[in-house]
Amino acid sequence: MSDKKLPMASERTEVKSSITNNTTASSSNGIPRNSKSPSELPNDNLEKEHHSTWYKFKESFKPMEHDEIDPNLSDIERANILSSRAPLQRRLKNRHIQMIAIGSAIGTGLFVGSGSALATGGPASLVICYGLVGIMIFCTIQALGELAVAFPVAGSYLIYSSRFISPCWGFTMAWNAALQWLVLLPLELVASGMTIKYWDKTTNSVAWVTIFYVVIAVINIFGVRGYGEAEFTFSLIKVIAVVGFIILGIILNCGGGPRGEYIGGEYWHNPGAFHSGFKGLCTVFVTAAFSFAGTELVGLTAAEAENPRKALPQATKQVVYRIALFYLVSLIIVGVLVPYDNPLLLNGDSSVDITASPFVIAIHRAGIKVLPDIMNVVILVAVLSVGNSAVYGCSRTISSLGDQGFGPKWFTYIDRQGRPMVGIIISLFFGLLCYLAASDKQDDIFTWMMALSGLSTIFTWGSICAAHIRYRRALTVHGRSTNELAFTACFGVWGSWFGVIFNILILIAQFWTALFPLGESPSAENFFSSYLGFVVIIVCYICYMAYELVNNKFILFLRAKDIDIDTGKRCPDVELLKQEVQEEKARLAYKPWWYRTYKFWC
């Protein structure tokens, strides 16, 4: 018997990968290494070689070839296979994923929307509500991370609703998300034009909107790598700005500004920590929830990450730092620098009016020059970042609609560079609604556009948690355990139950404040401008339910024993994956305690 040691599981995987890569190796221009030199190529190939850049660019828009799918499969089986085979290119590096996770939700919700929240509920309500919503978000992203590492498929959480809950609910959530992304791009483009008015009040905002529209379009034409690099830069700027504001805020609070006035906790006593009582607190809950919108975007990157098993766990763990540092600490600083009765906080529509930003107001009150302009540049970057993410999210959502049979087949068009071009074109087409900024009725138009998808994020988060609960239940029913998972949510299934319940509470709070708005008389217009999204969801569900009933395919709720828990796994060999996980745990056990603590939280 040979005494040679067998290679470890991870080593076997690397050897297998190396063999595969060597057998399929080719040069960068697609010509095999043993092919003839350019001088020996036929004339047509010489022409292609001579114009290689233009030729490759033109060819890149041709459709990626797909393998045939068995026509006898069920709709759910077909969707699972298509999502796992989607020819999206895995070009997002670890640094892209980390920065997208950190900076994806740092936008106008934090920089501007927090102003209306402060004016509505006071500084204590601001910290309490954003803190509780932040805990819910952390539980949700942990659940999403577990599912995305196990199934790094195209569509991510859009597929999970169909796969683990029911196709009818999956249809509703997928179109719900599509509406959200479609509306978001024109809204952010209009907001960018309004931000520019801080410096340039004479130029028509349509000119600036056009410039930003072209910039976002060009970024997404470069594919997922272009999006990743742009978001890395945008997020880095936002992170530096927030950290810088926190440091500046501490100095100003201690009396280190130009005016040299010590503030301390004065504004928590006068005018006070709370405002408008319990209803004010509930209103801030709703604002806080919308401020975190976009956090789930990191889940959509799973199918395009170079190594989702390594990148996604780190990204999901870092959500807790973003919540603690970029939201709670910065909002505590805002609360001690700006009193909630400052008239500028409600100067116009706080969702887009940068003069209502408490960050800008705090700097103005300190008497500091230039810095307000820099902060407004950061707000502009945040607006462009959200618009850029809207095109990315919308294009992947539309492609997922086609994969699941919830939309036309041509929705699934993906070119040879891995770009879902149909989705990108549709998103950019709806982005042209930004030119409504020139209309006298722009405020009314965009209010109702936002109302169409106003509750989208709340339902998305709740569905992610529900899908995680159903997946864990399916594992148990199939006699499997979490030992085969490369990453598990730190709060397990209980964190997802908390997420489901908390999202229901947010919906109840939104219903109450929409029906009886703070400081206003009840009206149908106010109610539907806040709760129209719920009506849209009900209509989508009923319509698809009727379609499935006609075709005798309606499934109210997938039973755990019928849930597919294998298709789409990056490592389909369960035993090999278990061994790799155990080896990683064994290696980690020999590391110092500080390293183990770091790996647990990072």
SS (H, E, C) 318-334: CHHHHHHHHHHHHHHHH
Nearest-5° angle of CA 540, CA 497, CA 404?
Answer: 35
pLDDT score recorded for residue 105? 67
pLDDT score recorded for residue 86? 66
Q: Specify the higher pLDDT residue, 566 or 173.
A: 173
Tokens of residue 351, six digits = 């969702």
Helices (H) then strands (E): counts for the chain: 26, 0
Q: Given a cut of 90, is residue 519 above it in pLDDT?
A: no
Q: Given a cut of 90, is residue 541 above it in pLDDT?
A: yes
pLDDT score recorded for residue 46? 45
Q: What single-letter amino acid sits at 13?
A: T
The Cα–Cα gap between 207 and 211 comes to: 7
pLDDT in tens, 68-97: 666 666 666 667 676 666 667 677 787 878
The mean pLDDT of 27-33, rounded to a whole number, is 38
pLDDT score recorded for residue 4? 42
Q: Look-up: residue for tokens 């209803």?
A: 279
Q: Given a cut of 50, is residue 120 above it in pLDDT?
A: yes
pLDDT in tens, 177-210: 898 889 888 888 888 877 887 787 777 778 888 8
The mean pLDDT of 167-178, rounded to a whole number, is 92
Report the SS3 class of residue 465.
helix
> How far, in Å, are 31, 231, 241 from residue 378 at the CA level?
45, 13, 7
Q: Given a cut of 60, is residue 45 above it in pLDDT?
A: no
The Cα–Cα gap between 415 and 65 comes to: 9
Report the SS3 class of residue 522.
coil
Measuring CA to CA, which residue among 321, 297, 302, 322 is closest to residue 312? 302
> How far, in Å, are 60, 391, 415 from residue 419 at the CA level?
9, 12, 5
The mean pLDDT of 256-262, rounded to a whole number, is 80
Q: Which CATH homologous superfamily contains domain 88-570?
A: Amino acid/polyamine transporter I (1.20.1740.10)
Q: Specify the higher pLDDT residue, 65 or 275.
A: 275
The mean pLDDT of 238-247, rounded to a whole number, is 90
Measuring CA to CA, which residue among 138, 146, 247, 201 is closest to residue 495? 138
Q: Where in the chain are the domains?
A: 88-570
Q: Are 340 and 119 within 8 A, CB to CB? A: yes
Most confident of the ranges 52-66, 354-368, 427-441, 537-551:
537-551
The Cα–Cα gap between 193 and 206 comes to: 7
Q: Given a cut of 70, is residue 540 above it in pLDDT?
A: yes
Q: Given a cut of 80, is residue 497 above it in pLDDT?
A: yes
pLDDT score recorded for residue 300? 78
DSSP labels, 407-457: S-GGGG--BTTS--HHHHHHHHHHHGGGGGGGSTTHHHHHHHHHHHTTTHH
Helix, strand, coil proportions of the chain in percent (round to 5)? 70, 0, 30
Q: Per mean pLDDT, which range of 114-118, 202-206, 260-264, 494-498 is the poorest?
A: 202-206
Q: Are 471 and 430 within 8 A, CB to CB? A: no
DSSP labels, 540-579: HHHHHHHHHHHTT---SS--GGG---STT-SS--HHHHHH
pLDDT score recorded for residue 69? 64
Please provide the distance, in angstroms rounded to a whole number, between the alpha carbons at the two ends of the chain. Answer: 44
Tokens of residue 299, six digits = 């889940």
pLDDT score recorded for residue 459? 93
Percent of the chain at pLDDT above 70? 82
